[in-house]
Structure 1
Amino acid sequence: MSPSEDDLKQWESKSFEGETQYMLERDSDGASFLRAISNASASGLFLKQDIDINEFPYLNWEWRSDKSLAALDEQSKSGDDYVARMYVVVDGGLFFWNTIALNYVWSSSATSKDAWPNAFAGDNAQMVPVKNASSASGTWYTEKRNLKEDFKAFFGKGISRIDAIAIMTDTDNSKQDAQASYRNIYFSKN
C-alpha cells in the first residue's frame, strides 16, 4: 500500500491550492521512497481502502523532514501548514458532516503531544503532533499508532473500520517551501 513501492496508480491526487510535487526516488541502498516538495501549494495523495482496524489496528510508516517550516500558529487558518501529514479517514458517506479524520502531523511549533481541531474542518479532523521542530531534519523516523486507541482518545468513538489514508506536505497558507519524504506505510496486527 505504500506509495514507495514503485506504484502510485492506486493513489489519487487531491489539490487544495496548487500542486505539491510527489516523486518516487531511491536512496543509496536502492530502497524507494516518496519525496514531496511544496512551494506555497497544498495537494495530497489519497488511497481509498477499507481496513478492518479490529484485525489490523496499527498504522506504521516512516517519514523525514527534508526542509522544515518556520514556526507557525498551526491552530489558525493562516498557519495550517505542515512539512508532513499522515491522514486516516472514516468516511461519513452521504452524511459528509460525519466524516472524521486523524491527522498525524510533523508540527513546526507544537511542544506537547496535545491534539487540536483542524483550523478548517473543526472537530471532525484532529491534528495529532507526532514530530516537531526539535526532530532532526534529514533523519528517517519510524512511527506506529494504534488507530482504535487514537480514535477513542481523540473522538470518543469506537471505530472498527477506516476508509482511506493520505499523505500531504502543504505550505499554501504560509507561502513557505517545505520538503518531506515518506516510505513503508502499512497496517499491522501488533
Structure 2
Amino acid sequence: MLRYLLSTLSIALLLSLPAQAQQATIPAFSELESLGSDYGWEPLIFPNIDQHSRYELVTEDDQQVVKATTGGGASGMIARLALDPGDSLILRWRWKVSNVFEQGDARRKDGDDYPARIYVAFRFEPDKAGWFERAKRRTVSALFGEELPGNALNYIWANRLPEGELVPNPYTDHTMMLAVSSGQEQVGEWVTIERDIVADYRRAFGAEPPALVGIAIMSDSDNTGESATAWYGDITLSRN
C-alpha cells in the first residue's frame, strides 16, 4: 500500500486545483511569456524526489520551445485540462533528445526513465473500479487531501522498447507506456508525433476514455541516474 501511495501521489496534483483552473486547450510553448501557472503550465513535483529536472523556454531552430534537462532527478510540467475526448482526439507534438538512456527499460522499475515523455491523464471512474482500488484512493484522499486521476497514457522516447510497443508501467497498471520514438536513430533530430488518444486508450484499456484532466511533459532519470536534454515543441489537440 505504501509503495502505491508514493508512486501515485505525485500525479494526484493533476486534480488538486479547482475546476475553474482547468482549460480545454493546451497553451502553446511558442507563445508563452514564461513557464508557470499564470501561463497555463506549472511544475509537477514528486514529493519523494528531491532532485528536479529543469525546464526553460529557449529559442531552438528559430522557434520558442521548452528545453528540459535531467541528471538523476525527476519532475515535470503540467497543463490541466477538462475535455471530453469524444470519438477521436488527435494529439500532435514534436520533440528532440540529446540521447537515450543506456539503462532505460520500460518493463523494469529501475529502468523507468525517459529523456522525453508526454503524460496524458484521464478522470477516475469509480463505478468501474473494484472495492480495493476505491479503498486505496480513499486512503490517499484521507492522508493527503488529494484526489487521484484514473488511467493514463505515457507516450515515451524509449530505449529497448520497440516503436509501437505498449506495456504496463512497472509501478502501476493504471498507466500504459507506448513507445512512439525509440532508440538512437533519430537522436538530435526533431521528430513529429501524431496520435489518436481515443484509439490508443481503447487499445490500452479496452474501454472508451473518460474526460482528460491533464497533459504533462517530463524528462526524468531518477531510476537510472543518467543525464539527457530534451526539447519540446508545441503540443496540440484537434478533432481531425
Taking structure 2 as the reference length, what is the TM-score of the superposition? 0.73
What is the aligned partner in structure 1 of residue 167 from structure 2?
A: 116
Per-residue CA deviations over 1:141-171 (Å, capped at 9, x if unaligned) read 1111101111111011112521110000000
Q: Equivalents in 2 of 1:38, 1:170: separation in Å?
A: 6
Q: Could you tell me whether the CA contact under 8 Å between 1:98 and 1:124 is conserved in 2? A: no
What is the aligned partner in structure 2 of residue 12 from structure 1?
A: 42
Q: Could you tell me whether the CA contact under 8 Å between 1:85 and 1:104 is conserved in 2? A: yes
Q: Equivalents in 1 of 2:156, 2:189: separation in Å?
A: 16
In structure 1, the gaps of 5 or more residues are: none
Return the offset for 1:93: 7.7
- Write 1 or 2 for the structure with the bigger share of helix: 2
- Deviates most, 72-81 or 3-12: 3-12
Q: Could you tell me whether the CA contact under 8 Å between 2:95 and 2:230 is conserved in 1? A: yes
Letter in 2 for 1:130: V
Return the offset for 1:110: 1.1
Return the offset for 1:4: 4.0
Task: Tell me how large the CA RMSD over aligned residues is.
Answer: 1.9
What is the aligned partner in structure 1 of residue 179 from structure 2?
A: 129
Letter in 2 for 1:61: W
Q: How many residues align?
A: 188
Would you identify which runs of 4 or more consecutive aligned residues in structure 1 move more than 3 Å?
93-98
What is the aligned partner in structure 2 of residue 104 from structure 1?
A: 155
What is the aligned partner in structure 2 of residue 80 from structure 1?
A: 112
Taking structure 1 as the reference length, what is the TM-score of the superposition? 0.91
Say yes or no: does 1:3 pair with 2:35: no
In the TM superposition, 1:27-176 aligns within 5 A as 27-29=60-62, 31-54=63-86, 57-92=89-124, 96=137, 99-120=150-171, 122-176=172-226
- Deviates most, 59-68 or 145-154: 59-68
- Write 1 or 2 for the structure with the bigger share of strand: 1
Return the offset for 1:138: 1.3
Q: Could you tell me whether the CA contact under 8 Å between 1:4 and 1:182 is conserved in 2? A: no
Return the offset for 1:15: 2.2
